[in-house]
Amino acid sequence: MKLLLFALLSALCLLRVPSVVKVAESRASWLASMFGLTALYVLGTVTPLEVIDSYLGGINVTNLLQAIFALLAIFFFNDSVRRLANVPIVRWTYYAPLLSIPIMIVSFALIKDKAPTAADFIDTRMDQLATATYSGTYMLALLFTVLRIIYMLRHKARGPYATFSAGLLVVAAACSCHITYVVLFHFSPWDAFAQAIGSWFDRLFYVGLSVTAAGWLILFLSKQLPKLRLWMIDALWLTALRIRVNADQARVSPALDLFNETLENGVYKSLIVLHNYQRGNMTMFPESVEGRISKIEAKLDAQT
């Protein structure tokens, strides 16, 4: 399930690159994908956990980094959804989850006997108050942010948005299971019952995140596919033409425009550059090329 989530987030990162520079909502969702990928990476999804942690002292610092990166991923996803739903910032609820990070760092530092590297680092040290504080703070911050996102999406519970909410409800259930586990294990005699509840965390957490990421990807594609079908071939053709005739002073400008602009704006800018090239060099393109350019210009006019 972690590999599936890693693949979904990788796809989102790559697909969001062209719009990251121009669209604020895309920047937030791209950062969420990047932090999510980083969190999964330090968990040992790609490179073995022991190898990564050995570079950090072999004292399970990877566990702390994973928690911080996962929290930042949810924070930026929350910001992306807030922009999508046109919800104004309420500062204390917006930034409150970030306040948990220094608490997590301090409590992690207070955990005794942090070596050796282990995937069950938290479970084997849950008898320490510092571990309970560290893990509980992390889960409370995640739960708070997830519930806030669900609340923002309450009026958009259709299609991919419903997938968001369903996946996030599963994540919220996973966080609740872990919080219950921390409280019961550390503050009650029911250790076995607490561990049984806590064992549901991994099962629910990554399933919920995968469903959410899939919904996110479907939403993105549903918005972008019509534009891709309409403009992608033209944008690539015009970019190739600019490179072939050296229409730009900098060789990288056509490629940068392709990524930094929306496809329609990129097509429009390429046409301007090519017309300026023709006027500056007092030249004409072959008839077939001119015909293709005219068709693209007619398509642009039809969209306005």
Q: Which two tokens stand for residue 220?
A: 């993105």
Q: At 19, is the pLDDT very low, low, confident or very high (cuts 50, 70, 90)? A: low
Q: 28-37 pLDDT, tens per residue? A: 778 888 888 8
pLDDT score of 209: 86
pLDDT digits (tens, 9 = 90+) for 185-203: 888 888 889 889 988 998 8
CB 164 within 8 A of CB 215: yes
More confident residue, 228 or 210: 210
Cα dihedral sign for 75, 78, 80, 86? negative
Q: Out of 15-19, 44-48, 187-191, 219-223, which region has the weakest mean confidence (pLDDT)? A: 15-19
Where does 2-224 sit in CATH, by number? 1.20.1070
Q: What pLDDT, in 10s, does the model give residues 222-259?
A: 766 666 667 778 888 888 888 888 877 776 666 666 65
Measured distance CA(202)–CA(208) in Å, rounded: 10
Mean pLDDT of 15-38: 73
What's the angle, vertex CA 233, arms to CA 231 and CA 238, rounded to 5? 90
Q: What is the mean pLDDT of residues 82-105?
A: 79
140-176 per-residue burial string, b: 16 or more CB within 10 A, e: under 16:
bbbbbbbbbbbebbeeeeeebbebbbebbbbbbbbbb
Predicted model pTM: 0.74
User: Does 278 have pLDDT greater than 70?
Assistant: yes
The pLDDT score that the predictor gives to residue 134 is: 95
Domain boundaries, the chain: 2-224, 226-303
Averaged pLDDT of the chain:
82
- In whole angstroms, what is the distance from residue 164 CA to residue 173 CA? 14
Confidence class for position 277, pLDDT limits 50, 70, 90: confident
Q: Select the more confidently predicted residue: 162 or 19.
A: 162
Q: CA distances (Å), 99 to each of 28, 68, 104, 188, in order?
A: 19, 11, 9, 28
* pLDDT of the residue at 101: 93
